[in-house]
Structure 1
């Protein structure tokens, strides 16, 4: 398993995935710094983190970035034609797919940490430079809760997106799935519907934007844990090329 992790990490170094993991999470911090610099009022941390960073990530950046990163991970194997080599290694096939899922989950968690850290650090730096330091306690505790809830509540999305990206040698399918999931969750948010609480993308969004966030975290995590063995069973039966 250690050898598989090392191989997968080496593949990432030669791809655009690491740039995708590092650069987009800086967007909330950039928006916050610009907002502080261009407005005369003094914002609160609740406005910057609770009403800007977390909703922006949960509603849009989280599902779209997950779809993109998972798609790129699948395309690494297909474009290099390395499936024939990877699948004849002595390790069981399911370990290869589980390793990919684990790395995707870690990359997702890293994006969340960078997003909340960039928001808080950018707000602090811009506030001190302009003399408009955000009011209230610095929301590190809220940030930790956001990372934990979002990473656990998104397990089902992670599994589905990677499953599709590895199963089909067509990046359009995986990206279209991510876009469709994003549109559905936005529709649910706008309409306030209670009919789609079972939808994985909605669970992930509500894990940080709903009053019963912990319940949605448990639901997303439970669904993800059910889907993981199903994904492994299906992929190890496929003749991937």
Structure 2
């Protein structure tokens, strides 16, 4: 399994995955930088860090997962290398499990980057405008924990996107699913039923209502893990992709 993971990591390294992993958190950091710069008075650290997490969970995380899963699938769909991969002397499920693990690893790295880049962006803005030094102390550990919960709640979304991207040779179905899911998550933000939408589950980690947090985490994490196992078993039994 380690060999398969190593090969998948090298494939990602030669793709645009690294650019995507840096670009998405950087856009959030740039947005926060200019938000601080246009301020009139100091604001709490909590507002800046929580704001970055909200942007990530609300929009950038779903769209990043959509792009990343399409990229991972296209690495095999593009050169039509599935026949070669499936003919190798190893259990087929390892191929799909390795891809899922790599996707989750990249998303986890992006979550860390959101935290770090946002903190750096605020510090840079304050260096230019010292009078806007945020009040309070940034609780980076707590915000890191929240981002970790968002990642767990996003497992079901990742499973759906990866399943769709690997199942269809065209990247269009995966993009349609991702864009459509994000759209309905945005327009159904205040709806109670929105907590059951996989693309909205990560942002529910910021909810002040405990039932929304536990429901989204249970469905997104628990059902998501089962979905990842199911996609691995399902795709490994298919003869043609």
| Alpha-carbon distance in structure 2 between the residues aligned to 1:217 and 1:238 | 31
Deviation of the 1:125 alpha carbon: 2.7
Match of 2:203 among 202, 205, 209: 205
Give the C-alpha shift of residue 210 in structure 1: 4.8
Distance (whole Å) between structure 1 residues aligned to residue 69 and residue 208 of structure 2: 26
Are 1:84 and 2:89 matched, yes or no?
no
Partner of 2:64: 65
| Aligned-residue offset at 1:19 | 0.3
CA distance in 2, matches of 1:174, 1:210: 32
Conserved 8 A contact 1:185-1:205: no
Aligned residues: 238
Structure 1 unmatched runs, 5+: none
2:43 aligned counterpart, secondary structure: coil
Q: Distance in 1 between matches of 2:73 and 2:133?
A: 44
Distance 1:161 1:92 in 2: 23
Q: CA deviation at 1:214?
A: 4.1
SS for the counterpart of 2:201 is helix
- Distance in 1, Cα, partners of 2:24 & 2:122: 17
What TM-score, normalized by structure 2, do the two folds share?
0.93
| Corresponding residue of 2:6 | 6
Partner residue in 1 for 2:53:
54
How far 1:66 moved relative to its partner?
0.4
Matching residue of 1:149: 149
In 2, Cα distance between the equivalents of 1:117 and 1:214? 27
Q: Which runs of 5+ in 2 are unaligned?
A: none
* 1:121-160 equivalent positions in 2, closer than 5 A: 121-131=120-130, 132-160=132-160
Cα offset for 1:128?
3.1
User: What is the TM-score when the length of structure 1 is the normalising length?
Assistant: 0.93
Output the aligned Cα RMSD.
1.5
How much does 1:127 deviate?
1.3
The DSSP-based 3-state class of the residue aligned with 1:33 is helix
